[in-house]
Structure 1
Amino acid sequence: MRDLTAGFRHLLRGHRWVARHGRAYGLGLLPGLITLVLYLAALVALAMWGDDFVAWATPFADDWSSPWQGLFRGFLTAVLFALALLLAVVTFTAVTLLVGQPFYENLSERVDRDVSPDGTAPESGLSLARDLWISARDGLRIVVRAGVWGVLLFACGFLPFVGQTLVPVIGFFVTGFFLTEELTAVALQRRGVQLRERLALLRSRKRLVWGFGTPLGLAFLVPLVAVFLMPGAVAGATLLARELLGEETRDPEEDTGGEHEAAATQAF
């Protein structure tokens, strides 16, 4: 329970950090807005022509009598759209992080410098092109892993009772885990932590990861919310990465409060 609370606290601290740094927050919104427009266009196209695609993909049902043909193809169209929505939720963060790599790298470095006792931030030493390649490669691997889980959970959803109770809960925790991996990758990749090591690190503190990623995943289900939460999520994930690695972290809010208190005392 303590780790769950600590994970959620990192999420809140990340959003408080971007609230105090308005310019970083504004720049962090741009990649999410670009990705959102692309995803909405794809989903609208699927809604308009999804039934035509299903009809093209199921020629064997052309001679079926009514209402079986309509029910069968209607069910497949609904399944196709549901899978597209699931894929959109799972991949939105990875695509947004890839589109906004320079923005989020800069934001994460600023958080590191702000909370580091010596005011420094780790640097990868890699070129932007190399960083983008590693992010794209690792992001694709995570999407494949998440996709396998998504298909398994979707299939289990047809099981009586279990599919309507246990499966959605497991789905939220799985989404939270992979979402946290994608977000912490910004800070961990900069420290040279490879994907396999990142996954092992996250599995060693699952409750901490769930406390951070599960509520964020739930919030991301609300349209447009993901765009506005991304900058704070990246900032919070940087703080989470520091805890996972056992790095000393100071609280800038406490320091600021102490400075204000000292200044007020001196003035008095």
Structure 2
Amino acid sequence: MFNGVGYLLRGIGWTARNPARWLFGLIPALIVLAVYAAGLVTLAFYLDDLAGRVTPFADGWSDAARTSARVVAGIAIYGAAVFLAVLTFTAVTLLVGDPFYEAIAVRVEESQGGAPPEPDVPLPVQIGRAVKDALILGLVALLFAVVFFAAGFLPVVGQTVVPVIAALVSGYYLAGELTSIALERRGLPRKERFARLKANRALAVGFGAATFAVFLVPLGAVFAMPGAVAGATLLARERLVDDPAVTGGDLGVANRN
């Protein structure tokens, strides 16, 4: 898992050495952040009412017990919303900023020896695949958010173990989204991409969980997004691609650790 964290640090280091590319990558992230922030602020405004609506069973309880139940419900609701936002933020940002992050990924590849040629796929097909993948990820994220929301009501475990599991699960899918740029360029469909992640699960979870933690920091998702894309490109190039026919010769393995 620690090797995965190293790829995030390498990606951030790459953007630090290429500040123009880092600034370039902030544009789509800022746009999506504004939309997500508005949604989370609105949710916070109505959180008390929502917590009351999902805990009608506590209406007849004592004031202390009822307040405790609704505080736990509020934490669970907002925690599930943040989990869903962090997981889908990457997919939506990559969808909105595809030309931006594709350019960053290509520059990273070129700095490591060369990028594979762009796949001969019409642009409408590429957009359709990206939208489909984003919708699928959104449904998966929603499913997990519901599960983690329910688990958040468990005493102690819901406030300790569940957030850790949520971070690990979110990290795995974040890694899948972030490495998709480099892997799609090599002609790998979504099922094959996740098959390769599964074969390197600890590495993917380490990279993704570290990214998830950084994204939880205020504005971390914006400032770290270009570095996360760069790190994911290095990870995909060096560890997830091991077929010379897919990489285009030795391009994908030139810097394998």
The two structures share one fold, judged by TM-score above 0.5:
yes
Distance 1:125 1:22 in 2: 31
TM-score w.r.t. structure 1 length? 0.79
Q: State the AA in 1 paired with 2:254.
A: T
Q: State the AA in 2 paired with 1:22.
A: P
Q: 1:46 to 1:150 in 2, by over 3 A?
A: closer
Q: 1:114 to 1:80 in 2, by over 3 A?
A: same
Deviation track 1:156-203 (CA, whole Å, cap 9, x = no partner) reads 232334333332222221111011111001111121111111111111
Once the two structures are overlaid, the 10-residue window that deviates more, 162-171 or 45-54, is 45-54
Q: State the AA in 1 paired with 2:82.
A: L
- Alpha carbons 2:76, 2:153 under 8 Å: kept: no
Distance 1:26 1:191 in 2: 26
Q: 1:207 aligns with which of 202, 205, 222?
A: 202
Distance 2:123 2:178 in 1: 18
Indicate yes or no: 2:118 matched with 1:123. Answer: yes
Q: 1:236 to 1:167 in 2, by over 3 A?
A: same
Residue of structure 1 in register with 2:253 after alignment: 248
Distance 1:89 1:221 in 2: 7
Residue of structure 2 in register with 1:170 after alignment: 165
Secondary structure in structure 2 of the residue aligned to 1:9: helix
Residue of structure 2 in register with 1:34 after alignment: 31
Distance 1:223 1:104 in 2: 21
Secondary structure in structure 1 of the residue aligned to 2:5: helix
- Tell me, which stretches of 5 or more residues in structure 2 are unaligned? 243-251
Residue of structure 1 in register with 2:139 after alignment: 144
The structure with the largest alpha-carbon Rg is: 1
Q: 1:249 to 1:9 in 2, by over 3 A?
A: farther
- Alpha carbons 2:182, 2:236 under 8 Å: kept: yes
Q: What displacement does 1:142 show?
A: 1.7
What percentage of aligned pairs have identical amino acids?
45
Q: 2:85 aligns with which of 88, 97, 102?
A: 88
Deviation track 1:226-261 (CA, whole Å, cap 9, x = no partner) reads 10000010011011111211231339xxxxxxxxxx
Once the two structures are overlaid, the 10-residue window that deviates more, 6-15 or 182-191, is 6-15
Q: State the AA in 1 paired with 2:236.
A: A
TM-score w.r.t. structure 2 length? 0.82
Secondary structure in structure 1 of the residue aligned to 2:253: coil
Deviation track 1:31-58 (CA, whole Å, cap 9, x = no partner) reads 1111111111222233335566788x78
Deviation track 1:14-45 (CA, whole Å, cap 9, x = no partner) reads 11211122221111010111111111122223
Residue of structure 1 in register with 2:41 after alignment: 44
- Alpha carbons 1:18, 1:25 under 8 Å: kept: yes
Distance 1:81 1:129 in 2: 36
- Alpha carbons 1:113, 1:121 under 8 Å: kept: no
Residue of structure 1 in register with 2:148 after alignment: 153
Number of equivalenced pairs: 242
Aligned-CA RMSD value: 2.8
Distance 1:192 1:82 in 2: 36
